[in-house]
Amino acid sequence: MFENLTERLNKVFAGLTRRGKLSAEDVDVAMREVRIALLEADVHYSVVKSFVANVKERAVGVEVSEALNPGQQVIKIVHEELIKTLGPSERLNLTGEKPRVVMFVGLQGSGKTTQTAKVAKFLRGQGERILLVAADPYRPAAVKQLQTLGQRIDVEVFYQEGIAPPELCKRAFVYAQKGGFSVMMIDTAGRSQLDQALMDELGAIQKIVHPVEILLVVDSMIGQEALHVAEGFRDTVKITGLILSKMDGDSRGGAAISIRSVTGVPIKFLGTGEGIDALESYDPSRLSSRILGMGDIIGLIERAEAAFDEKKSMQQAGKMLSGHFSLEDFADQLKQVRKMGPMRQILEMLPGNLGKVAKQVDPNEAEKSLKMTEAILSSMTAKERLNPDLLNASRKRRIASGSGTEVQDVNKLLKQYRDAQKMMKTLQKTGGRGLSNLFR
Ligand code: GDP
Has residue 274 been placed in a domain? yes
Q: Is 338 contained in some domain?
A: yes
The Cα–Cα gap between 187 and 205 comes to 11
| d(C-alpha 390, C-alpha 383), whole Å | 8
| Atom 27, ligand 1: residue with shortest CA distance | 274
C-beta separation of 73 from 62 below 8 A = yes
**374 lies in the same domain as 274:** no
Q: Is the pLDDT of residue 18 over 60?
A: no
Lowest mean pLDDT among 25-39, 240-254, 321-335, 391-405: 321-335
DSSP string of 303-352, one letter each residue: HHHHHS-HHHHHHHHHHHHHT---HHHHHHHHHHHHHT--HHHHHHH--H
Whether residue 92 lies inside any domain: the answer is no
Which is the closest atom of ligand 1 to the Cα of 187?
Answer: 4
Please, which pLDDT band fits residue 405 given cuts at 50, 70 and 90? very high
> What is the CB neighbour count within 10 angstroms for residue 156?
16
Write out pLDDT tens, residues 272-286. 999 999 999 999 988
- CA 187 to ligand 1 center in whole angstroms: 13
Question: Which residue has the least CA distance to atom 16 on ligand 1?
Answer: 274
In this predicted structure, which of 173-177, 324-328, 358-362, 380-384 has the lowest mean pLDDT?
Answer: 358-362
Q: Determine if residue 151 is labeled as part of a ligand binding site.
A: no
Rounded to the nearest angstrom, the distance between the alpha carbon of 107 and the centre of ligand 1 is: 11
User: What residue's CA is closest to ligand 1, atom 5?
Assistant: 111
Question: According to the model, what pLDDT value does residue 331 have?
Answer: 79
Q: What is the pLDDT of residue 318?
A: 67
- Ligand 1 cavity residues, CB under 6 Å: 106, 108-114, 145, 190, 245-246, 248-249, 271-274, 278
Number of structural domains (the chain) is 3
118-148: buried (b, 16+ CB within 10 Å) or exposed (e) per residue?
bbbbbbbeeebbbbbbbbbbeeeebbebbee
- Specify whether 62 is located in the same domain as 181: no
Q: Read off the pLDDT band of 436 (50, 70, 90).
A: very low
| C-alpha span between 153 and 135 (Å, rounded) | 19
Residues 210 and 325 in one domain: no
Note whether 310 and 252 are same-domain residues. Answer: no
Position 323 pLDDT exceeds 70? no
pLDDT tens digits along 167-187: 999 999 999 999 999 999 999
Residue 388: what pLDDT? Answer: 87
Q: Which of 31, 56, 86 is the last residue of a domain?
A: 86
CATH (domain of 346)? 1.10.260.30
Q: How many Å lie between the centroid of ligand 1 and the Cα of residue 403?
A: 39
Query: Is residue 253 annotated as involved in ligand binding?
Result: no
**Based on the domain organization, do 328 and 412 belong to the same domain?**
yes
**pTM attached to this predicted model:** 0.70
Q: Which atom of ligand 1 is nearest to the CA of 142?
A: 4
CA of 111 to the centre of ligand 1 (A): 3
What is the span of the domain harbouring residue 113? 100-287
